[in-house]
Amino acid sequence: MLHPSTGREKIIVTGIMKAYRQERLQSEIKKIFNRALITKMNDHRLEWVIVTDVVLSKDLCYLKVYFSHYNNPLTHDKIKSLLERAAGFFKNEIAGAKIMRTIPEITFYYDPTEERAARMESILASVKDDFDDEDDFDPDEDLDDLLDDDDFDDFDDEDEDFDDIDDIDEDDEE
């Protein structure tokens, strides 16, 4: 295809961008979403909802938004539907920031990382309780204070056990 004014071949540029720009845009969009949720959203049902991650497609047409919530009695699906209904508001916030020429289609996903971390903490705590020693081992405690001198024999050079070893060495030399 030729360019109308120059007559040269028209180069079609796809929407692929540099990786560092994509990361920077994702970071900015995440800030925009969290700022909007905290300060601009008047829906009390979305209190304590935060955006944990944002993934922007390479062609800038699709945006995956991962959210999490704390101390919120609503289910994940209900919060997801509330966020989907507010997608237009979020698109206006992105457009107002003037960081992108086109505004991507937004899809929301629940991020279960906090629940998995809490479950893992409880598993580790139960394992620790099962294998916890009754002695309450303290690594800073001096071992000499714990050991009785009567429990261990002190070996001197004059003991018969060492004399036997010397006899074995003399036999090997011959």
75-107 residue pLDDT tens: 999 999 999 999 999 999 999 999 999 999 999
User: pTM to 2 decimals?
Assistant: 0.62
How far apart (Å, rounded) are the C-alpha atoms in residues 63 and 99? 14
* pLDDT at residue number 137: 60
pLDDT digits (tens, 9 = 90+) for 112-165: 998 888 899 999 888 877 766 555 666 666 666 666 555 555 555 555 555 555
Residue 17: other Cβ atoms inside 10 A: 13
Cα-to-chain-centroid distance, residue 103: 28
